[in-house]
């Protein structure tokens, strides 16, 4: 899709950085076209310890109430807390990635999150001692349309199947596990793909991983755009909007309590406003809220309690 995939000779980090630079343009252009009103505001920032990012945020659009499509590439000494986490000492690192979250205004349109990233760790001599890819994309609806879930997962599966026959099943499962809001005993949404620590093996070289991760990145618009087009003009009530705002509260809870990406950003002195662009614009917390028996809202909760197979559906 981007053409950058076939760049040869460049180190993986540069190739992948070029890829996300380009993908950010592709995605933000398409989203602006769909929205018809909102334009992404761009903030370029520098990290004092090394690196920086290009944040693009949209607010108060026709379709997108709030969203961000951000890239960053940061490097330097690995912070103490991360050294402990990885069990290493005196390590330096490089990390780059694209992170996006879109919160549509209409509760019939699901929130979407995606992230594709690459990480390198160095010893004091600057040798790469470890490197891996990670990423994924997942959907968080407020009202469940089976067709949307099936579409999203089918596009994910098609991207995976081009690389390894077991990838979809494996990374769909990892996504269900990762986006589990333990304190609520429910999923954040209806899943998608999640992969991490994708390192070179006999089966997959780093070049193969690069090709897989960019395949998934390239599939994002195909995953999400048709759903937005189909649902963005559906009518909705104030009560449905309230439900959306309550469910957005669970999104906040997941991101602030459990999400490793958010934590990584906070621990590596990332730019706070870029990290927390993932938080929804208007949110409610209602004490002990339960949807009515047999309602659409209850149907969603039932689904979130028990992740589903959307391929054999």
Residue numbers annotated as active site: 113
57 touching a second copy, by CB under 8 A: yes
Shortest reach from residue 256's CB to a second copy, in Å: 4
Residues paired with 180 in a beta bridge: 187
Q: Which range in 11-19, 162-170, 248-256, 302-310 contacts a second copy by CB under 8 A?
A: 248-256
Measured distance CA(21)–CA(104) in Å, rounded:
24
301 touching a second copy, by CB under 8 A: no
Sheet holding 51-59, edge to edge: 41-46, 51-59, 64-77, 92-104, 111-122, 128-140, 192-198
Q: Which of residues 252-281 bind a second copy (CB under 8 A)?
A: 252-253, 256-257, 266, 272-273, 276-277, 279-281
- Pick from 7, 234, 286, 311: which binds a second copy (CB under 8 A)? 286
Sign of CA dihedral 226, 228, 233, 236: positive
- Pick from 51, 52, 61, 68: which binds a second copy (CB under 8 A)? 68
Q: Which range in 115-123, 124-132, 133-141, 285-293 contacts a second copy by CB under 8 A?
A: 285-293
- Pick from 5, 154, 184, 241: which binds a second copy (CB under 8 A)? 184
Q: For 51-88, b where at least 16 C-beta lie within 10 A, e where not — what string?
A: bbbbbbbbbebebbbbbbbbbbbbbeebeeebbeeeee
Measured distance CA(276)–CA(273) in Å, rounded:
5
Shortest reach from residue 275's CB to a second copy, in Å: 8
239 touching a second copy, by CB under 8 A: no
- Close Cβ partners of 218 (under 8 Å, ≥ 6 residues apart): 1, 2, 23, 159
285 touching a second copy, by CB under 8 A: yes
Shortest reach from residue 66's CB to a second copy, in Å: 7
Shortest reach from residue 289's CB to a second copy, in Å: 9
233 touching a second copy, by CB under 8 A: no
Q: Which of residues 81-120 bind a second copy (CB under 8 A)?
A: none
Q: How many CB atoms lie within 10 A of CB 262?
A: 19
Rank residues 155 and 277 by Cβ distance to a second copy and give the closer one: 277
Residue 165 burial (C-beta neighbours within 10 Å; 0-12, 13-18, 19+): exposed
């Amino acid at each position: 899709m981007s053409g950058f995939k076939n760049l040869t000779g460049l180190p993986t980090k540069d190739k992948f950085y070029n890829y996300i630079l380009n993908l950010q343009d592709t995605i933000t252009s398409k989203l602006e076209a769909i929205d018809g009103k909102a334009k992404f505001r761009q903030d370029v920032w520098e990290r004092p310890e090394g690196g920086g990012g290009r944040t693009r945020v949209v607010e108060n659009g026709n379709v997108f109430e709030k969203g961000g499509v951000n890239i960053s590439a940061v490097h330097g000494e690995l912070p103490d807390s991360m050294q402990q986490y990885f069990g290493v000492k005196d390590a330096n690192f490089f990390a780059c990635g694209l992170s996006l979250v879109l919160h549509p205004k209409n509760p019939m349109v699901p929130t979407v999150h995606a992230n594709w990233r690459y990480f390198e760790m160095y010893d004091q001599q600057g040798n790469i001692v470890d490197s891996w890819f990670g990423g994924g994309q997942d959907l968080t609806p407020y009202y469940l349309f089976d067709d949307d879930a099936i579409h999203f997962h089918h596009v994910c599966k098609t991207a995976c199947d081009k690389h390894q026959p077991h990838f979809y099943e494996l990374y769909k499962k990892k996504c269900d596990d990762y986006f589990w809001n333990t304190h609520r005993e429910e999923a954040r949404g209806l899943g998608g793909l999640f992969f991490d620590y994708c390192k070179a093996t006999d089966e997959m070289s780093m070049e193969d991983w690069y090709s897989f991760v960019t395949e998934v990145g390239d599939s994002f618009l195909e995953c999400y755009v048709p759903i937005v087009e189909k649902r963005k003009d559906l009518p909705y009530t104030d009560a449905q909007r309230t439900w959306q705002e309550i469910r957005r509260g669970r999104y906040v809870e997941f991101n602030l309590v459990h999400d490793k990406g958010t934590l990584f950003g906070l621990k590596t002195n990332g730019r706070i406003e870029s990290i927390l662009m993932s938080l929804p614009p208007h949110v409610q917390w209602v004490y002990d809220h339960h949807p009515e028996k047999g309602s659409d809202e209850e149907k969603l909760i039932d689904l979130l309690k028990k992740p589903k197979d959307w391929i054999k559906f």
